[in-house]
Amino acid sequence: MTYYCYMLLCANGGYYTGWTTDPLRRLKQHNAGRGARYTRMNAPSELVYVEEVADHSAALKREAEIKHLKHPKKAALVSDTSHNILPSLQSTIEEESSS
């Protein structure tokens, strides 16, 4: 099973960080109001960062690391294409949103 850490950019300009086995499904859950309280209060959300991690334990650790970063460091992480695999998922996201 593949695990991912992800960041959402919320309507208030803040980042929400989490982990999942399916980033696209999780984004839909957040935007449907079935995600975290933070994303329900600051919806809609946009997926801006996805990083593949080795296992569940690594996902939890990486999520904690990202959550402790200040906003400018999170923004830099979003721009860092060496870890962010979102561009490779972009075509899938566009297909899902058009259907």
* H-helix segments, 5-99: 23-31, 37-41, 56-67, 71-79, 86-98
Model confidence at 94: pLDDT above 90: no
Rounded to two decimals, the pTM is 0.88
Class of domain 3-98: alpha beta
pLDDT value at position 34? 92
User: What is the residue extent of each domain of the chain?
Assistant: 3-98
58: tokens are 């690594």
pLDDT value at position 92? 62
pLDDT value at position 24? 92
60: tokens are 């939890």
Identity (one letter) of the amino acid at 3?
Y
Q: What percent of the chain has pLDDT over 90?
A: 76
pLDDT value at position 81? 85
